[in-house]
Amino acid sequence: MVKNTASSTTRTNTIAWLVVGTVIGCLTGLLLLEKKRNREKSSREKSGKGEEQGYQNFQWCHYEHCGGLQEKRKRLPELVILLRHGESEANADHTLWRTKPDNQIKLTDTGIQQSKEAGRRIEALFESYEKETSTSIKRVQIHVSPFERTLQTIAAAIPYFEHRVVQTLPESRIREQETGNFSKRNVDSFREEQLKVGRFWYRFPTGESGADVYDRVKSWWFESILTTNEQVGYDHVDAIVVVTHSLSMRFVLMQLYNWSPTTFHSVWSSGVCDMYVLRKDLNKRGTSPYDLDRQRGDMPRSSMDMSLRLKQGRNVSDTSELSVEERIYRLHDYLDVPPPRMRHIGVIKQKLAEEYPKLDANAIDTISFELNGTALNEEQEF
């Protein structure tokens, strides 16, 4: 009986020591883990590379400084020239597109001459760029909308710089907006609806919205332009000439500069054979390091209509003949307002005062913007 009691006591003591040992081991492990975490935290704080800073550095590396992507940016063509077609039959006769398929509309004789002049201008641009930058423009690639008027435009322009051209690519993604199947009776009502809704948003029955065109133009830019010099087996391209339509040209700029639909609506249709020159600038961030060259190309025009109200509660007007309640001011060069444009009210007031000398910027209380813009009325596309 005494032996059994002693044996039981021994087993109890053994279990107790095992439990105590386990608890001590766990506590020791927790203390060591906490010390390790504190050392790591202290190290991050001293080096100035906390988690947030580290993530930001990763993003910057990913988009700018990582070797592979930075080298890809350097390989991009020096210039991308966006050229609108010359004067078309529908530019001369705005009723023609109601009866003739859009893709079959041709250039006028004036349009042919304009296209030839555009070719001379492009060659002169290449020559001056080579002289001023010591950068050779020997290999030029052409992207052209497969519409008749754009094909005629490049055919008339290309002889002046043909010795540089290595490839011509028809590209349907930069064609004109599909306006659907019109009838003579309802076309005017469609245009009126488009003005109310906005060019970017309005979808023609059986046709496209501006947003649809934007999506395909952006797809072409990222999948074709930005990968031009990544094609296996092809030589390096120094410049790209894009022969397209006014709407496509504006959508290239929209995705390049991150315009809002409201800003897009403020931009006018380009003139026939207008040329936007995009020059590579590796100081810009992102995968599309291009900027408009103001010296070598045309610049997009823009304007925004807005209604003003004085602090006294009445509309501002600098014209005595016009009812003050109906007075709407048009601010030109709206693109010159820094983005986000509608938040720079002070800049807008100052620009209005400069454009309308009788207007006191300090007297303006509120500004109401016409959000669908004014550019839609400036010129038909075609």
Distance in angstroms (rounded) separating the CA atoms of residues 377 and 382? 14
Distance in angstroms (rounded) separating the CA atoms of residues 175 and 189? 24
Longest dimension (CA), the chain: 126
Catalytic residue among 85, 143, 245, 265: 85
> Is residue 154 within 8 Å of 243, Cβ to Cβ?
yes
Helix/strand/coil percent split, the chain, to 5: 50, 15, 35
| Report field, pTM of the whole predicted structure over 0.85 | no
Place domain 77-292 in its CATH homologous superfamily: Phosphoglycerate mutase-like (3.40.50.1240)
**In this structure, what token pair is assigned to residue 219?**
């797809």
Distance in angstroms (rounded) separating the CA atoms of residues 133 and 39? 53
- Which residues neighbour 359 within 8 Å (Cβ) at sequence distance 6 or greater? 308, 316, 318, 329, 352, 353
Mean pLDDT in residue range 13-24: 65
Distance in angstroms (rounded) separating the CA atoms of residues 113 and 153? 9
As annotated, the binding site includes 84-91, 149
Residues 82, 84, 90: CA angle, nearest 5 degrees: 165
As annotated, the binding site for substrate includes 84-91, 149
Catalytic residue among 78, 176, 208, 381: 176
pLDDT at 113 (0 to 100): 99
pLDDT at 20 (0 to 100): 60
> Is residue 43 within 8 Å of 36, Cβ to Cβ?
no
pLDDT at 221 (0 to 100): 99
> Is residue 85 within 8 Å of 115, Cβ to Cβ?
yes
Q: Report residue 104's pLDDT band, with 50, 70 and 90 as the boundaries.
A: very high
Cis peptide before 205 (omega within 30 of 0): no
Helices 246-257 and 210-220 pack at an angle, to 10 degrees, of 70
Domains of the chain, residue spans: 77-292, 303-377
pLDDT tens, position by position, 266-287 = 999 999 999 999 999 999 999 9
C-alpha dihedral sign at 168, 169, 173, 175: positive
pLDDT tens, position by position, 182-240 = 655 566 788 788 888 999 999 988 899 999 999 999 999 999 999 999 988 889 999 99
Q: Does the annotation count 62 as an active-site position?
A: no
Residues 173, 262, 349: CA angle, nearest 5 degrees: 145
**What's the length of the chain?**
382
Distance in angstroms (rounded) separating the CA atoms of residues 328 and 232? 56
Amino acid at 150: T
Q: Does the annotation count 176 as an active-site position?
A: yes
- Between 115 and 58, the more confident residue is 115
pLDDT at 211 (0 to 100): 98
Q: Report residue 64's pLDDT band, with 50, 70 and 90 as the boundaries.
A: very low
Flag whether pLDDT at 26 surpasses 80: no
Flag whether pLDDT at 175 surpasses 80: yes
